[in-house]
Structure 1
Amino acid sequence: MARKRWNGEFETSEEQQAIKRRLLLREAGAAFTERGFHNVSLDELAARLGISKTVFYYYFRDKNHLLQNCVEIGFELAETALDRAEALDACGLEKAACFMHAYVTGITSEMGACAVLTELNSLNADDLAAVRKRQRAFGRRLVKLIEEGCKDGSIQTDNARVAASWILSPPLGIPRLSQLWQVQDGKGLADRYADLVRRSLRPL
C-alpha cells in the first residue's frame, strides 16, 4: 500500500491549490460585497492578500470568471439550504424556517461573503442569462414549499411569490451589516432570522 508523503503531515498539492483558491474567492467576495464589483480591481485584491496579480490568472481567467465563481458559491449556499428544508419531515412553516436558518448559517460562514447576488448584473450577458434561469428554477422550488405550507394550514399569505421574495431578501444584507457581528454570532443570527419567518408567515 502506498504511503502518504511526509506521513500525511502536509497537505497534498491539490489541497493546497484548493485552499489558495478558496482564499482568493473569500477575499474577492468580501470586497465585491463591501464596495461593488466595478470598484474593486485585481491589483487591489492581490495587494490585500500579499500576492502578485498573476496569481489570480492561474486560478481564474479574468475578473468576470472570478465573479462567476462567487455567484456559484451563493447559489450553492441557497440550494443546499433549500435541499435541507425540502427533506425535513415537518409542516410548511417549519420547512420555511429551516431554509432560513440553513441559509443564514451559510451566509455567515467562512465563504458566505461570496453570496454577492446583488452584483449579478455585472456578469456578461450569456452568464447572466444562465444565472437568471437558475434563479427562476430556485424561486419555483421555494414558492412550492410555501404553497405546501398554505395547504397544510401552517402558513398564511395572500401571495406565495411575494412571501418567497421576502424570505430571500433580508439575509442578502447580512454581509454588509458589520455591526451585527459585534453583538451576535452566526448561529444566533440564524436563530433570529428563522424565528422571524415563523412569526411573519404563521396564521394570525
Structure 2
Amino acid sequence: MSPPSSRPAAAPESPWLAADTRAQQRELKRQAVLHAAAQLFNERGFHATSLDDIAERLHVTKPTLYYYVKSKDDILLECVRTALGMMRDEIVVVRRAGGRAIDQLVACMRVYALIVTQEFGRCVIRIGEDPLPPPLRRELRALKSGIDQEFRRLVAEGIQEGSIAPCDPKMAAFMLGGALSWIGRWYRPDGELSPEQIADRGIALVLNGIVTRRRATKT
C-alpha cells in the first residue's frame, strides 16, 4: 500500500470570475451597447430609436441594458464622449510629436476626418446636441470647444511660421471643422472611397482649393 501523498489537495475552481475579469466583461458588454446604439442612431435617427430597438439588435432584454447605461440620453452622450475623446487623444499625440504647425494641422485634420467616418463620429455629426438636456448639452459643447481651440492654435502658429496665409484663426478653424464634419453626413461604408482616401482628398481640397492658379508670366 503506497503512503498517502503529502501534496495539498488542489482547490476547486471558483465559479465566480475575478473582480478584474468581471470588470473587463462588463466594459466589453457596455461598449457593445454603445456600438449598437450608435449604429441605430445613424440608421434611424435618435428620436426614432428606442431602448427596445437597441435591446433587440443585441438579442437581450430591455432591463439588461439598464445594467450598463442609465437612459437613451446617457447612451448618446457616451457615444459623443467616445468620439470626441478619440479626437482629443489623437490630437494630443500629434502635438507632442512636434514639427511644423502646418504638418500638425494636416495630421489633426486627418484624425478628424477619419473619426467622423466611424460609428461614434458619425453619431456626433448626424445627431448633434439638440436631443440632449441642457446639462449634457453644455458638456458636449465643452468637449467640442477643446478641439476647436487646438485648430485655432495650429492655424495661428502656421501663420507665424509662414506656412499658412494670414487669416482669422477663429474663422479658419470654423471653416476647417465644418468642412471635415460634413463628411460624417454623406459618408457611406459601402461607398467607392475608403475613409483614408476621403480624408486625403478632402484635406487636399480644403487646403488647395479648386481654382486653377495661373503662373505669373515674365515680361
TM-score range, shorter chain: 0.7 to 0.9
Name the SS of the counterpart of 1:120 in structure 2.
coil
2: CA distance between counterparts of 1:28 and 1:136? 25
Which aligned pairs between 1:133-172 and structure 2 lie closer than 5 A?
133-172=142-181
Match 1:18 to one of 13, 27, 43: 27
| Number of corresponding residues | 192
2: CA distance between counterparts of 1:181 and 1:122? 28
Name the SS of the counterpart of 1:74 in structure 2.
helix
Higher RCO structure, 1 or 2 (CA under 8 Å, sep 6+): 1
Q: CA contact under 8 A between 1:26 and 1:114: conserved in structure 2?
A: no
Letter in 1 for 2:70: R
Q: CA contact under 8 A between 1:121 and 1:128: conserved in structure 2?
A: yes
Name the SS of the counterpart of 1:12 in structure 2.
helix
Q: CA contact under 8 A between 1:25 and 1:114: conserved in structure 2?
A: no
2: CA distance between counterparts of 1:33 and 1:134? 21
- Superposition RMSD on alpha carbons, in Å? 2.6
Match 2:207 to one of 175, 198, 203: 198
Match of 1:8 in 2: none
Name the SS of the counterpart of 1:51 in structure 2.
coil
Residue 60 (structure 2) pairs with residue 60 (structure 1): no
Match of 1:32 in 2: 41
Deviation at 1:128, TM superposition (A): 1.3
Q: CA contact under 8 A between 2:116 and 2:184: conserved in structure 1?
A: yes
Match 1:189 to one of 169, 174, 198: 198
Q: What percent identity do the matched residue pairs reach?
A: 26
The answer to which of 103-112 and 59-68 deviates more is: 103-112
**1:130 to 1:67, Cα distance in 2 relative to 1, 3 A:** same
Name the SS of the counterpart of 1:137 in structure 2.
helix
Q: Which runs of 5+ in 2 are unaligned?
A: 1-13, 15-19, 214-219
Deviation at 1:145, TM superposition (A): 1.1
Q: CA contact under 8 A between 1:100 and 1:194: conserved in structure 2?
A: yes
Question: Structure 1 or 2: larger helix share?
Answer: 1
Which aligned pairs between 1:42-121 and structure 2 lie closer than 5 A?
42-109=51-118, 111-116=120-125, 118-121=127-130
Q: CA contact under 8 A between 1:107 and 1:175: conserved in structure 2?
A: yes
**1:88 to 1:184, Cα distance in 2 relative to 1, 3 A:** same
**1:143 to 1:33, Cα distance in 2 relative to 1, 3 A:** same
